[in-house]
Structure 1
């Protein structure tokens, strides 16, 4: 069962990596906030339907709604700024900068919760920061506004990871997922109607364009509803460390998909930066003491 769970998580990383290219093509026609609003509404509709037919509406408690809304705000920040960033930067850079959320988690935990990061997390943070410099300012087209937006997205996902760890113990995973996803949809729709030209965007010709409805179907049902369900279920059979290591393949799949589908290439410095960020993500979750054979004084006696 363990191998099947970890293989399914690798499938989730593949889905999320592939959707970078699909989303980038779709938002050339449908503005990013409206795209996310429709995407998450479709996913939420599916999840609430499942909750209804499984007769689990009692799981939608006040606490679940409160926690789900907080998680939804974090997710909305992540997905909104990621999608907006794709308008201005490349798929490969988006994938790897988003991946910095894994490294940001221990730093935010230190600042807010006073939890000291592990040696691996500290080393990983420095390594990933160096990689970010090489990927952006160091030779991959220079730092641009899109990279900045995606960096904000990484913070949103990092806060989501921290709060999820705190909230999942007291709520149904399915109900909590449904609430946060409908929250993302509402926030993105509000942003889209206030900030984007929704009158011109929400037309039959746009919504029926294959690039748009294909992207909406894939991201809503595969990359959102199914992916979150798989992740929640699979984590019961493996460790959090292995989960993060497997999902760290997402930006790698994103860069590979960008190369295969749109012939997007990175410079030597950019490729080195990607490698540094990926190594940093791994180091952030690997127990360095065990990796190098260190043992505590208590274990030496």
Structure 2
């Protein structure tokens, strides 16, 4: 029964998992802002991914070379995404970070166009609406901070990650694939933070609860849900649906950090939701599209037949096969 439900509703389940991913991702910037008050970005980063990798390691089965290769490629992309995002949060507001990271929606669409994959007008319109909505939500007067550029690099890397994950995820079990990624990121993070970890022992103990949350929920659960979901959803659908993350990010930034959520942000959020609805409403298949093409009678009047050959002609109106010699 469970297997039947999964098979018949796997596309819907994929959207539910992406929604969970967006919700958990939305909590990340606010929590990270709290942690990096006492911990360096590199230390927070290394501990977060180490915790996530340790949590999933006992469930890993059936490793092979293809799995290790694909997991390592995704792990490097994942490192770039979260490292640049962490650096950006040193100077950017948490809600602003969520909005800039949400630009991965339009980057995925641009990558798909670059690779000349077929995109519907509905898909392009949804991406434009989501991108415009994110722009409305994140627009602020004044000069851009360096953190904004780090966050832009994070969004660009995430778009590449979404497309590559769409290719790799159907070929592997989700837990081993995710665990390999997490260990790649954790090891790179430890190398990055090695000089600072010992100096931050006391701060680590103080922030241990938040680090566990980041590792288990905002990292392991997020990447696992997205990896599983992209076995059933396309990269474009995933990117559009993840456009909800800035909305959740702004809400949590307001609740946890007191960062304001203006009227302009609500307008942008509505535009993002419209884009998502365009993805969820799928056009019905016209029954005429599935009909077999009708055979037409040959108009050839003069047929030259080689020795020993027989041409089987067209069906007559009575359903009989005429032989042309």
TM-score bracket relative to the smaller structure: 0.7 to 0.9
| Contact persistence 1:134–1:269 (CA under 8 A) | yes
The one of 17, 30, 54 aligned to 1:21? 30
2:71 pairs with 1:79: no
Q: How far off its partner does 1:124 sit?
A: 3.4
Equivalence map 1:33-48=2 (5 Å):
33-48=42-57
Which structure has more relative contact order (CA 8 Å, sep 6+)? It is: 1
**Using a 3 Å threshold, how does the CA distance of structure 1 residues 279 and 89 change in structure 2: closer, same or farther?**
farther
> What is the match of residue 178 of structure 2?
177
Q: What SS class does the counterpart of residue 170 from structure 2 fall into?
A: helix
**Using a 3 Å threshold, how does the CA distance of structure 1 residues 131 and 13 change in structure 2: closer, same or farther?**
closer
| Contact persistence 2:166–2:230 (CA under 8 A) | no
Q: Give the Cα separation in 2 of the matches to 1:272 and 1:28.
A: 31
Q: Give the Cα separation in 1 of the matches to 2:218 and 2:35.
A: 15
Q: Give the Cα separation in 2 of the matches to 1:244 and 1:118.
A: 15
> What is the match of residue 145 of structure 1?
146
The one of 202, 206, 213 aligned to 1:218? 213
Q: How far off its partner does 1:172 sit?
A: 2.2
> What is the match of residue 103 of structure 1?
106
Q: What SS class does the counterpart of residue 45 from structure 2 fall into?
A: helix
| Contact persistence 1:81–1:152 (CA under 8 A) | yes
The one of 71, 84, 87 aligned to 1:68? 71
> What is the match of residue 203 of structure 2?
206
Q: Deviations over 1:57-94 (max 9, x none)?
A: xx221111111111111111111111111111111111
**Using a 3 Å threshold, how does the CA distance of structure 1 residues 242 and 67 change in structure 2: closer, same or farther?**
closer
**Using a 3 Å threshold, how does the CA distance of structure 1 residues 96 and 184 change in structure 2: closer, same or farther?**
same
Aligned pair count reads 282
Q: Give the Cα separation in 1 of the matches to 2:18 and 2:113.
A: 28
Q: What SS class does the counterpart of residue 211 from structure 2 fall into?
A: helix
**What residue ranges of structure 2 are gaps of 5+ in the alignment?**
294-325
Q: Which has the higher helix share?
A: 1
Q: Give the Cα separation in 2 of the matches to 1:118 and 1:152.
A: 27
* TM-score normalised to structure 2 length: 0.73
> What is the match of residue 252 of structure 2?
257
**Using a 3 Å threshold, how does the CA distance of structure 1 residues 219 and 235 change in structure 2: closer, same or farther?**
same
Q: What SS class does the counterpart of residue 109 from structure 2 fall into?
A: helix
Pairwise CA RMSD: 3.4
Larger radius of gyration: 2
Q: How far off its partner does 1:126 sit?
A: 3.3
* TM-score normalised to structure 1 length: 0.78
Q: Give the Cα separation in 2 of the matches to 1:259 and 1:43.
A: 26
| Contact persistence 1:22–1:215 (CA under 8 A) | yes
| Contact persistence 1:24–1:83 (CA under 8 A) | no
Q: How far off its partner does 1:251 sit?
A: 2.1
Q: Give the Cα separation in 1 of the matches to 2:149 and 2:264.
A: 19
| Contact persistence 1:97–1:154 (CA under 8 A) | yes
